[in-house]
Amino acid sequence: MRYLIIQLLLVILFQSLQGQKNEDWYIFRGDPALTGVSKLQLPGNPKLLWSYDTGDEIRSAPVTSRGYVVAGSMNGILFCIDKTGILKWKFETENGIEAPAVIYKGSVFVGNFDGSMYCLDLETGKQKWIFQAENQISGSPNIWESGGKAFLVFGSYDYFLYCLDAETGKLAWKYETDNFINGSAAVYNGTAIFGGCDGFLHVVDLKTGESRQKIDVATYIASSAGVSENKAYVGDHDGRFSCVDLAKGEVLWVWKNENVHLPFMASPAVTSVVAIIGNEDRNIYCIDKKSGELKWKFNTGSRVHASVVIAGNNVLTANMRGDLHILDISDGSSRWTYELGSMIVGNPAIAKGRFFVAASDGYLYCFGE
């Protein structure tokens, strides 16, 4: 009987921790595999609850955890705002911030244009450590947990992928590519998976920093791959959207719009059935994961740089004109539209009962009911 009670308590504790984790969009794209999928539901009829003025353009995607939302602006300041829209703290770096931050176990990690990677205390905003890369950091760092330790993984325009001890900021290893790394690395099954401006999808062993796969996609990749069921889904600068088998190291299928060849600057959102991604041609595309065939498309009316986010049966999108749309995942029909009126580059972040969007007018917006 005592054993059963202990087991029951452990199950309850595990479910509580999982629930808390599912409510946190603590990282770019929502999880280490960069799937862009939340287990939460979007508000049924979202309304603007509050906005906060950062004083300069925001290109980075916000992240949220423990009741705070964090975003950086092009004036080099990282802002931490509470759930009511009140400033908790701000931290000034030496250069602009384009990369989304990561919130992990009471710390915030963020990189900037001069190649600095900062670790800050989530509650106070005080600096814990700084690491210097040789060129700008535009992609979000990711977290890899191994052997009771956490490591920070990120790329830079100095051609390197870095792995740091998250506690100390000390370099564990670095992996060299042949060109800029603009996007973020997905962390999946002990590997870092990322596209580079060298035209390859790289798969790097996180323990050793050695290459496992180097898959030629023929042109450069500015965005991030979403990883699901041992396959990576990624768009490239020539307008191709590819599914890559990570076990075999080969491209399974490629989808492209035969009428237009504009870049994929956004990253995909990936469920068990479909991959959904926005393109410079103004459209959101929903692709069948197995066949690579188009299921539906939705014209947003403007270029799409912001990656879509999936929550339940809803797809949340944003475009460069400042329009927000919620689409039905089954057929792409519009359920809700809001004209923000200012360019949106970073994807929204989802929290319980609300979502956050950052725009080029310098405002961080909170929507809910």
CATH number at residue 94: 2.130.10.10
- Contact (CB, 8 A) for 308 and 276: yes
Strand 77-82 to strand 87-92: parallel, antiparallel, or no bridges (unpaired)? antiparallel
Longest dimension (CA), the chain: 67
Question: Which amino acid, one-letter code, is at 352?
Answer: K
What is the helix (H) or strand (E) element at residue 3, kind and residue range? helix 2-23
User: Does residue 125 form part of some domain?
Assistant: yes
Structure tokens of 6? Answer: 């202990």
How many other CB atoms are found less than 10 A from the CB of residue 216? 12
User: Does residue 342 form part of some domain?
Assistant: no
Contacting residues for 60 by C-beta, under 8 A, at least 6 apart: 71, 72, 73, 97, 98, 99, 100, 101, 345, 346, 358
pLDDT at 16: 37
> Residue 212 carries which DSSP code?
E
Residue span of the structural domain in which 195 resides: 2-38+61-284
Structure tokens of 358? Answer: 């950052």
Question: Which amino acid, one-letter code, is at 62?
Answer: P
User: Does residue 147 form part of some domain?
Assistant: yes
Q: Of 16, 17, 21, give the one whose Cα is nearest residue 32.
A: 21
In terms of C-beta density within 10 A (0-12 exposed, 13-18 middle, 19 or more buried), how is residue 310 classed? buried
Q: What is the dihedral of CA 367, 346, 109, 104, to 10 degrees?
A: 50
pLDDT at 2: 46
pLDDT at 310: 98
User: Does residue 195 form part of some domain?
Assistant: yes
What is the helix (H) or strand (E) element at residue 75, kind and residue range? none
User: Does residue 313 form part of some domain?
Assistant: no
Alpha carbons 228 and 339: distance in angstroms, whole number? 33
User: Does residue 363 form part of some domain?
Assistant: no
> Residue 124 carries which DSSP code?
T
pLDDT at 20: 39
Q: Of 112, 108, 110, give the one whose Cα is nearest residue 97.
A: 112
- Contact (CB, 8 A) for 219 and 188: no
Please give the order of strands across the beta sheet that includes 274-278: 269-270, 274-278, 283-288, 294-299
Alpha carbons 210 and 282: distance in angstroms, whole number? 38
Number of domains forming the structure of the chain: 1
Low-confidence ranges of the chain (pLDDT < 70): 1-23
The model carries a pTM of 0.92
Contacting residues for 19 by C-beta, under 8 A, at least 6 apart: none
Q: Which residue has the tokens 């995607």?
A: 61
- Contact (CB, 8 A) for 93 and 112: yes
Q: Which residue has the tokens 């923000």?
A: 340
- Contact (CB, 8 A) for 197 and 3: no
User: Does residue 120 form part of some domain?
Assistant: yes
pLDDT at 125: 98
